[in-house]
Amino acid sequence: MRLVAYLLPRIAAALITLFGVSLLVFLSLRLLPGGYADILLGPFVTPEARAIIAQRYGLDQPLVVQYMRWAGAMLSGDFGVSMVTQRPVIAEFLRRAPVTLQLALIALGVALAAGYPLGVLSGVRAGAQRKKRDFGRLVGAMGASVPDFVLGSVLIFVFSVWSLWFRVGGYVPFTADPVGNIRSMMLPGLTLSVFGVALILRTTRDAVLRVMTEPHITAAVARGASPGTIIRRHILRNAAIPVVTVTATYFGFLLGGAVIVEVLFSIPGVGLYIFNGLLNRDYAIVQAGVLLAAVVFITINMLADILYALIDPRVGAVR
């Protein structure tokens, strides 16, 4: 019951947020100069042709009507049709979701596998050695500072000049060719993970530092427990909470579609779909994409909140 009381206002807030997002994306798309008629017909667009295309896709209706139609259709599960292909955009999102999910999982996996241990190590050592030779901090600072398109470009340079097993572009579905899939997905996955490594490393390091100032660590040290035991028993568990939150946020961000990395490596995921939809002024794609990304983001954050409340009962009580 407490969980319900905890959740209800959050769900209400989430719905308001989604409404705001939908309105924002809808309106900003209509404000964009140029439309699908321009893209389709190029220079040959005439006012008559523009009118016909607008009518074909219901774009001649007042904005309120267009929005209501879209929102109404969406509530019944109809996310609209792409103007380019005439196909339902939801089918295309479902086809691409596994691609983006795979990228996100690779990035998250690498980020956790590298960031968490390094963070713990760095935090413990920082306490012990007063920040001297703090390798973790250096990695953290570097990882958070190299933008994905810089790293991606450099990787493309290295791997397209020398044939080094990994591929630049050339995505194939895992089901069709598992090895080819891994070869083409690792570079974009690694590119995406670097920020995550830094993020998780820094968060873990801070959390460890914070935990280590708490009295029960002092008590344990006083009891003469070995450093290994202290780290395992006391630090790791208590430091996990902020890491969970940050991991969730990062994952939500990744699932929203890593636009630049997908564009750079020609990975046909959700991000590339939205990006091309925007260039083509294919409204339904961008609208659905932004809304779905917001839903995923909000849901994952809410799950993290719940997890947070379960791990640390104080949180529920405070609010």
Partner 1 sequence: MTARLLKTRRLDGLSLFGLITLGILLFLGIFGPLLPLGDPTRIAAGPRLDAPSPHFPFGTDELGRDFLPRVVQGIRATFLLSAIAVAITAVIGTLLGLMAGYLGRTTDQAIARGADILFAFPALVAGLLVAAVIGPGQVSAITVISIATLPLFIRVVRSVTLGVAGRGFVTAAEVAGASALRVMLVHLLPNVMGAVMVQLTYALSIGMIIESALSFLGLGVQPPDASLGSLLRQGSGYLTIAPWMVLSAGVVLSLAIMSVNLVGDAVRDALEPLKGRPLT
Partner 2 sequence: MPRLSRPSLSALALMAGMGLALPAAADSVITWGKPAEITGFDVHVAGTVASWEMYQMVYETLLTTDDDLALQPGLAVAWEEESPTRFVFTLREGAAFSNGRPVSAEDVIGSLERIRNPEIASYWAHQLGEIVTMEVLEDGRLAVELARPHASFLPALAHITAAIIPVEEYHTGDFDPASQLMGSGPFMVAAHDQDERWTLVRNPHYGIDSLPRADRIDVQIIPDESARMAALRDGRIDFTTFENPDAPQMLGSTASIAYAPIQTTNYYRFDVNALSEASPFHDIRVRQAMNLALDRDAINMLVFNGTSAPDFPVPAAFGNDACRDLDTYALPRAERLDRARALLAEAGQPNPQVELMASSANEVLVRIAQVTQQSLAEAGFDVQIAAVPTAEYLQRVFTDGDFDFSASWLAGYTDPGMVIQWWDPNFAIWNLAFQAEVPELSALLAELRGLPNSPERDAALIEACEMIDDGANLLALVSKVDYVVYRADQIEVTLAERTGSANIWQHIAEFAPAE
Residues of this chain, 184-243, that bind partner 1 according to CB under 8 A: 206, 209-210, 212-213, 217-218, 221, 227, 230-231
User: For 81, which DSSP code?
Assistant: B
**Which of partner 1, partner 2, none lies near 217, with the C-beta cut-off 5 to 8 A by kind?**
partner 1
Among candidate residues 170, 208, 186, the one with its CA nearest the CA of residue 109: 186
**Residues 36, 171, 251, 275: which binds partner 1 (CB under 8 A)?**
275
Minimum distance of partner 1 from residue 48's CB (angstroms): 26
Q: Which amino acid is at 84?
A: V
55 near partner 1, rule: CB under 8 A = no
Contact, 235 vs 149, CB < 8 A? no
Binding mask 143-182 for partner 1 (x = CB under 8 A): -xxxx-xx--xx-xx--xx---------------------
Our CB check for partner 2 shows the closer of 32 and 65 to be: 32
DSSP conformational letter for 88:
B
User: SS3 of 271, please?
Assistant: helix
- The residues in 65-104 that bind partner 1, with binding defined as CB under 8 A, are none
Residue 27's closest CA among 57, 88, 86, 71? Answer: 71
- 52 belongs to the binding site for partner 1 (CB under 8 A): no
The token pair that represents 305 in the structure block: 């909140």
Site residues (vs partner 2, CB under 8 A): 32-36, 38-50, 52-53, 77-79, 83-88, 90-92, 94-95, 156-157, 159-160, 163, 167-171, 173, 175-176, 263-266, 268, 272-273, 276, 279-281
Q: Which long-range contacts (CB under 8 A, 24 or more apart) does 157-160 make?
A: 159/187
Match 């030779």 to its residue by tokens: 133
Closest CA to 59 of 77, 81, 76, 78: 81
What would the x/- binding string for partner 1 be over residues 240 to 269, using CB under 8 A?
----------------xx-xx--x------
**Three-state SS for 166?**
coil
Q: Are 274 and 96 in contact (CB under 8 A)?
A: no
Token pair recorded at residue 264? 């750079």
Other Cβ atoms closer than 10 A to 314 = 8
Which residue ranges make up the site for partner 1 (CB under 8 A)?
13, 16-18, 20-21, 24-25, 28-29, 31-33, 123-124, 126-128, 130-132, 134, 137-138, 141-142, 144-147, 149-150, 153-154, 156-157, 160-161, 206, 209-210, 212-213, 217-218, 221, 227, 230-231, 256-257, 259-260, 263, 274-275, 278, 286, 289-290, 293-294, 297-298
